[in-house]
Chains A and B, each alone.
Chain A
Amino acid sequence: MSGRAKPRAWTEWLVTMPSFVWLGLLFIIPTVLVFAITFRPSDPYGGIGAGWTLETLKTLGNPNYPAIVWRTIWMSALTTGLCILLATPMSYYLSRVSPRLRQWLLLLVILPFWTSFLVRVFAWKVLLHPDGFLKHALVWLHLISPDTSLLYNAGAVLLVMIYTELPFAILPIYAAAEKFDYRLIEAAKDLGAGSFRAFVSVFLPGIRVGLLTAFLMVFIPSLGSYVIPDIVGGPTSEMIGNKIAQRTFVDRNLPHAAGLSAFLSVAVLVPMVAVSALRRKNTRAPNEEGV
């Protein structure tokens, strides 16, 4: 047994090592370093000093931080919820239309994903600008007063976050909806369920794998948002990402930035572990039913 496995193991290591070593050096070690540097002092030249200290951990008790942490969490949760809310009926529609129309609609969904992220965020800055098209239109319609600001607030950040994250919710949910057996919905209706009831208790459980993937794909990157609140947000809509960038580029206090990043890494791990536990439960469920 072990004699037969030997040459196989050798070639396995040969093809695994290039990517494994690369990611070990440039991904795993740097991630561990973030935690280690949290306990290092900063030096006056913006580098990392010698010795160990708990100074950074103490300054993380900054009274502004709890508000920023909460804002980061609820903005990300709201973005994720709204993205899934929009993506689910959309995926249902996409998987039901004729293949020809579907191809064009999918292309329209994917196109923004391939275009420059900064350009898409900037497009909203132009659209929401105090002297821009949307503002003038809304004032003319008497929907807002001339001194309402559409930019530099939490609403603008949320809107643009949904705009950039929505394709990441649509694609996994659509992939699940495409495999869904729509005869189940007909069966539910034959058994007396209304459209809405059939949608909620047959369709949604049927695409739960897609919903879970969409949750991860939107929620985790949202927690690390930095560019969107930086460009369309203001001082009242700062998120953790903005603080990390500020500590890195403005104050050049790398240990402090590392401390915030270590916190964010831990925050990101919670939903990841939760979802993978849920997934494991999902894949085990059929076996248990079989027994």
Chain B
Amino acid sequence: MRPSRVPAIVTWAVLVFFYLPIVVLVAQSFNSSRFGGHWESTSLKWYIALMQRDDIWSALVNTLVIAASATLGAMILGTSAAFALHRYAGSRLQKVHYSVIYMPLVLPEILMGLSMLLFFVALKIQLGMFTIGLAHVTFCLSYVAMTVLARLQDFDYTIIEAAQDLGAGWWTTLWRVLIPMLAPGILAGGLLAFTLSIDDFVISFFVAGPGSTTLPIRIYSMIKYGAPPLINALSTILLVVTFACVTISQLLSRNKHAPGT
């Protein structure tokens, strides 16, 4: 019997659906007309106007500072969590631990955003970069833990015993054996955390205070209150950067695995 064509058609149609708005957005950013009903002329005027917006640059700096610190915090907490979950799997503590780590992955962001806002308001903590950072560590932690946990599945604990038999203390074992072996997982989790932190809007918006505008918060207010052509240009830059990063990291990890597969 001839295999059905439906799966192939659906797949290619979905990919067109995925990329159509992105392609139109990128094309629009080079159109000098405000809205793209017609093509006025190809120009870089929106890019030039974008370069002169200081608020966007300071928002970008805020975003990067928060993302870098949240990633570092989430990598430390997430790795130790993953280690605990894997090493002591099955204990009652780890069952509770696992659900506490898993919940933030599925709960709607708006619930986490509002609950942390209430927490900070109740404790009278000044909202700002610090509270955004705390919130980002909280949701990034789970992503790092899950990524490292996946890598731990084929981890061989006899190596740790071997190191200790050869006289390594726990500090040496941690830094010379465990962390180097888990490095690919920790870095993959860190990369995910960094991307999610840079991209986060909902949670940041809830716990932001004066002077802590991040890039997504800035983009949101530009979308809501005017300046669309500028966002076309800004979006195109962001798209090019992320597409390049993801493609390069995919190609790198593929080459590394190539001899094995």
Segment with Cβ contacts to A, from B49-57, B99-107, B180-188: B99-107
Note all chain A residues with C-beta closer than 8 A to B250. Answer: 107
Task: Take A19-B80, A23-B100, A264-B108 as given contacts and tell me if A122 and B235 are in contact as well, using a CB distance cutoff of 8 Å.
Answer: yes
* B10 close to A47 (CB less than 8 A): no
* B106 close to A114 (CB less than 8 A): no
Asked if A144 is an interface residue, CB under 8 A from chain B, the answer is: no
* B21 close to A127 (CB less than 8 A): yes
Task: Take A122-B223, A126-B24, A244-B114 as given contacts and tell me if A23 and B101 are in contact as well, using a CB distance cutoff of 8 Å.
Answer: yes
* Chain B residues within 8 Å of chain A by Cβ, number: 84
* Chain A residues within 8 Å of chain B by Cβ, number: 87
Main secondary structure of the interface of A (DSSP, over half): helix
Task: Take A90-B7, A195-B4 as given contacts and tell me if A16 and B97 are in contact as well, using a CB distance cutoff of 8 Å.
Answer: yes
Segment with Cβ contacts to B, from A53-61, A63-71, A131-139: A131-139
The CA of A93 and the CA of B7, in the complex, are separated in Å by 5
The CA of A68 and the CA of B97, in the complex, are separated in Å by 35
The CA of A74 and the CA of B88, in the complex, are separated in Å by 41
Segment with Cβ contacts to B, from A204-212, A254-262, A278-286: A254-262
Task: Take A16-B81, A19-B97, A107-B250 as given contacts and tell me if A227 and B115 are in contact as well, using a CB distance cutoff of 8 Å.
Answer: no
Asked if A163 is an interface residue, CB under 8 A from chain B, the answer is: yes
Nearest B residue (CB) for A249: B205
Asked if B254 is an interface residue, CB under 8 A from chain A, the answer is: yes
* A241 close to B110 (CB less than 8 A): yes
* B11 close to A94 (CB less than 8 A): yes
* B37 close to A131 (CB less than 8 A): yes
B interface with A by C-beta (< 8 Å): 1, 3-4, 6-8, 10-11, 14-15, 17-22, 24-25, 28, 35-38, 76-78, 80-81, 83-84, 87-88, 91, 93-94, 97, 100-101, 103-104, 106-112, 114-119, 121-122, 134-135, 137-138, 141, 145, 195, 199, 201-202, 206, 216, 219-220, 223-224, 228, 231-232, 235, 238-239, 242-243, 245-247, 250, 254
The 6 closest A-B pairs by CB, nearest first: A224-B108, A19-B81, A30-B115, A93-B7, A123-B21, A30-B119
Contacts A12-B84, A117-B216, A132-B24 known; 16 new A-B pairs at CB < 8 A: A15-B81, A15-B87, A20-B100, A26-B119, A31-B111, A86-B14, A107-B246, A107-B247, A115-B243, A116-B216, A117-B199, A122-B235, A136-B37, A199-B4, A261-B110, A261-B111
A interface with B by C-beta (< 8 Å): 8, 12-13, 15-16, 18-20, 22-24, 26-31, 33-34, 37, 47-48, 86, 89-90, 92-94, 96, 103, 105, 107-112, 114-120, 122-127, 129, 131-136, 163, 166, 189, 194-196, 199, 216-217, 220-221, 223-227, 230-231, 241, 244-245, 248, 254, 257-258, 261, 264-265, 268, 272
